């Protein structure tokens, strides 16, 4: 079972490279069981989406 | 809007936007100002090339990205990125020890953020994001902004900065962890 710490690293790397099959399965299993890491994943996705819109509509 | 109607006044309307974009990437007000100045000048010289297929803002942002990459090349020639473990004041393994228990669980489990979509419409959220970005170590921020603001891929970033993909991923991970923590504390966690 992956630890939350390992999951946080894999979720960041998932934005950079294709994860291996064992990595993907380990991640899915962990996320099913762990609300904290599921929240973390949504937050990373939000940060990515936010930067794409930077600096908002402040023009 | 077509090319014929683009004059200095139309371009000036976008200066503040372009300056914020350049500043969060370069973290150097003078160089950011230079990049924006060059962008507006290049836009005026090449306005016939504006096809009207994108908005003027998008077109200008595209030009600015090229100018920013020129500036980043200059910066990285003058101050190459130090990828040794102690660079940026953080050791390789000890980065986020405070966030995790020794067994790898979160010290504090991440709580869901309330209404993130609304944050994107709030001017003060963008200021909070800028403050969190400013708090990142310089090279960490540079790599992160090249990736997320400019939309470059890891390969392009490695080539420009002469670092390995692994170094790049470490810096991106640090940036994401720190920004998440900072936004959690300073924006989403505020009550």
Cβ atoms A37, A4 nearer than 8 A? yes
Provide CATH code, domain B3-78: 1.10.1740
| Binary contact (A56, B105; C-beta < 8 A) | no
C-alpha B24/C-alpha A34 separation (Å) is: 34
Q: What is the mean pLDDT of each run of 10 residues along chain A (59 residues)?
A: 96 96 97 97 97 78
C-alpha B150/C-alpha A37 separation (Å) is: 27
ipTM of the complex model: 0.95
In B, residues 51-90, which contact A (CB 8 Å cutoff)? 57
Give the bridge partners for B106, in sequence order.
B100
3-state secondary structure of B100: strand
Return left, alpha or beta for A17; rule: phi > 0 is left, psi -120 to 50 is alpha, else beta.
Answer: beta
C-alpha B154/C-alpha A4 separation (Å) is: 24
Which of A6, A35, A46 is nearest residue B104 as measured by Cβ atoms? A6
B131 closest CA partner among B172, B187, B191: B187
Chain A residues whose CB is inside 8 A of the B126 CB are 54-56, 58
C-alpha distances out from residue A7 to A28, A36, B112, B166, B174, Å: 10, 11, 17, 17, 14
Residue B80 has a pLDDT of 76
| Binary contact (A3, B103; C-beta < 8 A) | yes
| Binary contact (B120, A48; C-beta < 8 A) | no
> Chains A and B: how many Cβ contacts under 8 Å?
102
Summarised one tens digit per residue, pLDDT across range B48-74 is: 888 877 889 999 999 999 999 999 998
Q: Residue B60 contacts by C-beta under 8 Å, 6 or more apart in sequence? A: B11, B14, B18, B39, B40, B43
Which of B106, B121, B165 is nearest residue A36 as measured by Cβ atoms? B106
pLDDT over threshold 70, residue B83 = no
pLDDT over threshold 50, residue B191 = no
**Same topology for domains B3-78 and B87-188, yes or no?**
no
**What's chain B's average pLDDT?**
89
Residue B77 has a pLDDT of 85
Which of A4, A16, A56 is nearest residue B120 as measured by Cβ atoms? A56
pLDDT over threshold 50, residue B92 = no
Tell me the nearest-neighbour CA distance from B102 into chain A, angstroms.
10
CATH entry, B87-188, from 1.10.357.10, 3.40.50.2000, 1.10.10.10, 3.40.47.10: 1.10.10.10
Share above pLDDT 70 across residues of chain B, in percent, rounded to a whole number: 90
The DSSP annotation for B128-169 comes to: HHHHHHHTS-HHHHHHHHHHHTS---HHHHHHHHT--HHHHH
Q: Measured between CB atoms, does A1 come within 8 Å of chain B?
A: no
Residue B63 has a pLDDT of 96
Q: Where are the domains of chain B?
A: 3-78, 87-188
C-alpha B26/C-alpha B20 separation (Å) is: 10
Question: B47: which DSSP letter?
Answer: G
pLDDT over threshold 90, residue B132 = yes
| Binary contact (A52, B121; C-beta < 8 A) | no
Residue A32 has a pLDDT of 97
């Amino acid at each position: 079972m992956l630890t939350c710490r390992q999951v946080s690293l894999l979720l960041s790397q998932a934005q950079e490279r294709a994860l291996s099959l064992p990595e993907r399965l380990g991640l899915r299993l962990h996320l099913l069981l762990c609300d904290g890491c599921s929240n973390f994943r949504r937050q990373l996705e939000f940060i990515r989406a936010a930067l794409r819109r930077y600096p908002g509509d402040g023009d | 809007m077509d090319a014929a109607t683009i004059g200095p006044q139309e371009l000036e309307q976008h200066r503040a936007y372009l300056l914020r974009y350049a500043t969060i990437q370069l973290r150097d007000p003078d160089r950011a100002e230079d990049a924006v100045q060059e962008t507006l000048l290049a836009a005026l010289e090449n306005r016939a090339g504006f096809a009207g297929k994108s908005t003027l803002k998008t077109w200008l942002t595209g030009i600015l990205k090229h100018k920013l990459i020129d500036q980043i090349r200059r910066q990285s020639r003058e101050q190459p990125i130090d990828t040794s473990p102690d660079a940026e004041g953080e050791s390789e393994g000890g980065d986020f020890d405070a966030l995790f228990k020794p067994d790898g669980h979160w010290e504090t489990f991440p709580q869901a953020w309330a209404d993130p979509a609304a944050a994107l419409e709030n001017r003060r959220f963008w200021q909070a994001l800028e403050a969190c970005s400013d708090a990142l170590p310089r090279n960490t921020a540079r790599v992160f902004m090249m990736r997320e603001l400019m939309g470059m891929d890891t390969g392009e970033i490695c080539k420009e900065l002469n670092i390995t993909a692994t170094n790049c991923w470490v810096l991106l991970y640090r940036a994401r962890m720190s920004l998440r923590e900072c936004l959690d504390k300073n924006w989403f966690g505020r009550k």
